[in-house]
Amino acid sequence: MGMTRQDGLRELFKAEIDRMNEMMEDLFFAAKTTGNHFNPANLEADVINGWAYRLLEKFGTAIPLSFEVECDGYKFLRAQGVPDDFIPMISDTYEGERLSARSQYFEKPLKEEMQEIGLKTDRLNLELARTEIFRAKADILLNTGPRYQLIQDQSEIEMEAEAGRISPAPAPIENSMHADAGETNTPATPTDLDQPLDQQDELATDGYPSCLPVTKFLELFELHKRKKGKEWKAGTAKDVCVAVRMFQDVLVFNKVEHTGEIRQAHIAAFRDLLSLLPKNYGQSSRLRTLPFTVLKGIGEKWLEDADDDETAKVGLEAQTLRKHMRAVDGFRDFLAARGHQIIRFEMKGLRPAKKRAFDIASLTPTPGPDKTAAMFRMPIFAGCQSDKRMDEPGPVTIHNSLYYMPMLLVYLGMRRAEVAGLMVDEVLETANGPAIEIKANEIRSLKNKQSDRMLPLPPEVLRLGFLDYVNEIGSLGYSALFPELVNPFKKDADPGDRFYKNFNPLFVQNAANGGPSWMRVIHAMRHGHADTLKQNGVSPVLIEDIQGRDGMSETAVRYTNPAGLPLLKENLTKYPVVTAHLVSKPIQLLGFVKAKKPAPWF
């Protein structure tokens, strides 16, 4: 007798329980090697991730939850006794895992496992299997007692102490000023960390002590971010904050109390941490919530388990590593400029050599017309089932950013942010035909002065109803050309990031089904556009003008004007037509766009 569906689902649940237990044992062991296995931050990370998976188990992955007061996500968590302070973090983790669970990176191994146990991989079974996976993850992560009993017992003692029922023994105060010299730690006189003894009367310009407590780094970072203003994009601020927080963790671990105690060895320790971070650190919500000591332990264990350093899945890429080192060095300069006592870091021997422009360019693929033509056979272009089932082939064409943005990227070589941030009034009728005016606006800035330019609209984009789409969006009162990418609740959110999150899972899924595939999918289209024009005889200077890059020479920058529309139009025809198979259809918008409601992912 064959295995029933329920038997198969139980098998999946049990296998995931075993995997989760093994992973938690690895994490606990890694933390134990550094003495960090009872850190409350680990407990908090498990609880946040556990509730995110419980939400996915209960509500599924098809539609994002709202966590506003009185909405389903919020009400469910509060009914389970989850504190309000945890809900924003759970919300972020939930959304990241929800999108991941609908990608081929999640579905492909799950389908393979279902096939191995004889479970059909139809849509119903796949959703049931997801639910069992989420249930297993939530059960293990939320069963914190066996892992953190000592922390929970200590918390109860502290709560009773606060209530006045008992008096806990005072914690020892260590003097770490000479710890590096090998001297024995001795009790020190308690002092206010905001006023170190050797700098009590000396203040920086911002009112903080000259020797800034390490615990105030993130507080000062907020001021640093405000000072940068529009110079930083939201993503840049987030990346720098991550680097500063990790550096702060390294300093705390090494018992550094304030900036006056920071030494070159501490920046070297930070560099060592970056070389130990798991390669998937940026993609894992679980890893991003873990403290420095646990991450260090994981990296060391993986190095020990690997056959050699080359096969261990640890260490950030050189460009990412340089970015984090530069971020910490910039924060140091910010502190020094405000009068805080801090040494200058020597980066030359720590930071990887900067790659040459040619080497950096070689990291990005250059998909040619053959691959882009194959991409335009995806359901989002050739026809899908509906605006809620855009990954499935069907008779419906939905006109939105997923439909038009890749065409503009492929035919014009524009930057992702430039297309995603287009406004309705930036589509113009000129003496030389319809064109796009690329300029700074309220939802995105420009990379450089050369980015401010005008480009002709490609004939194929016009054939496929682009101007009708523009008129339709404008008639609804929208100012943004692709309103589904603009977060109405967060003005500094990058619409280009939102497009990537919508497009990339569909591209990956299509690739898994036999479609074209390349890394850095969106940025690669721009490289492919430039390469195709070059191979078809367009001069590098004109390619620079089309793509809005800095001039290649002093002559190009100082003594000539950018190419005009007629010349650009002529040279852009050198990119072959890759959408001829698409049929022009009447404009059909996303349902929520037509109803003038916020996108469900916001």
**How many residues in total does the chain contain?**
602
State pLDDT tens for residues 580-594.
Answer: 999 999 999 999 899
Domain ends where: 115, 133, 159? Answer: 159
Q: What is the pLDDT of residue 538?
A: 83
Q: What is the pLDDT of residue 470?
A: 94
Estimate to the nearest angstrom the gap between the alpha carbon of 110 and the chain centroid.
24
Bridge partners (DSSP) listed for residue 456: 435
Over residues 518-525, the mean pLDDT reads 81
386 and 252: one domain?
no
Q: What is the pLDDT of residue 406?
A: 93
Confidence of residue 2 (pLDDT cuts 50, 70, 90): low
340 and 425: one domain?
no
Q: What is the CATH number of the domain that holds 214?
A: 1.10.150.130
461 and 539: one domain?
yes
The answer on pLDDT for 357 being more than 90 is: no
327 and 390: one domain?
no
Over residues 368-381, the mean pLDDT reads 91
Q: What is the CATH number of the domain that holds 413?
A: 1.10.443
Confidence of residue 36 (pLDDT cuts 50, 70, 90): low
State pLDDT tens for residues 61-99.
Answer: 877 788 887 788 888 888 888 888 788 888 888 887 887
344 and 367: one domain?
no
Distances 482 to 344, 375, 419, 444 between C-alpha atoms, Å: 46, 21, 9, 13
In a domain, 297, yes or no: no
State pLDDT tens for residues 98-143.
Answer: 877 877 667 888 888 888 888 888 888 888 998 999 999 988 888 8
571 and 465: one domain?
yes
Q: What is the pLDDT of residue 395?
A: 94
- Helices 234-253 and 318-337 pack at an angle, to 10 degrees, of 80
The answer on pLDDT for 45 being more than 50 is: yes
Better pLDDT: 294 or 269: 269
Q: What is the pLDDT of residue 404?
A: 94
Confidence of residue 3 (pLDDT cuts 50, 70, 90): low
348 and 400: one domain?
no
The domain of 248 spans 193-277+315-354
Number of domains in the chain: 3
Domain ends where: 159, 184, 201? Answer: 159
Q: What is the pLDDT of residue 185?
A: 36
CA atoms within a 13 Å half-sphere pointing along the CA-CB vector of 593: 26
Q: What is the pLDDT of residue 214?
A: 87
256 and 327: one domain?
yes
Estimate to the nearest angstrom the gap between the alpha carbon of 394 and the chain centroid.
32
457 and 473: one domain?
yes
**Dist. CA 138–CA 136, nearest whole Å:** 5
Q: What is the pLDDT of residue 557?
A: 44
**Residue 30 corresponds to which tokens in the numbers above?**
């890694």
In a domain, 442, yes or no: yes
Q: How would you label 558-594 residue by residue, b for 16+ Cβ within 10 Å and e otherwise? A: eeeebbebeebbebbeebeebbeebeeeebbbbeebe
Q: How would you label 355-383 residue by residue, b for 16+ Cβ within 10 Å and e otherwise? A: eeeeeeeeeebbbebebbbbbbbbbbbeb
Over residues 488-495, the mean pLDDT reads 79
Confidence of residue 32 (pLDDT cuts 50, 70, 90): low
Query: 420: closest CA among 502, 527, 477?
Result: 502
509 and 471: one domain?
yes
pTM over 0.75: no
**Dist. CA 92–CA 98, nearest whole Å:** 10
323 and 347: one domain?
yes
Q: What is the pLDDT of residue 242?
A: 82
Over residues 19-37, the mean pLDDT reads 69
Q: What is the pLDDT of residue 187?
A: 35
350 and 212: one domain?
yes
In a domain, 184, yes or no: no
In a domain, 61, yes or no: yes
Distances 579 to 88, 174, 382, 402, 406 between C-alpha atoms, Å: 42, 69, 10, 14, 11
In a domain, 503, yes or no: yes
Share of the chain above pLDDT 70, in %: 74
Over residues 284-293, the mean pLDDT reads 61
* Farthest-apart Cα atoms in the chain, separation: 84
State pLDDT tens for residues 195-213.
Answer: 343 444 467 666 778 888 8
294, with CB counted inside 10 A (0-12, 13-18, 19+), is buried
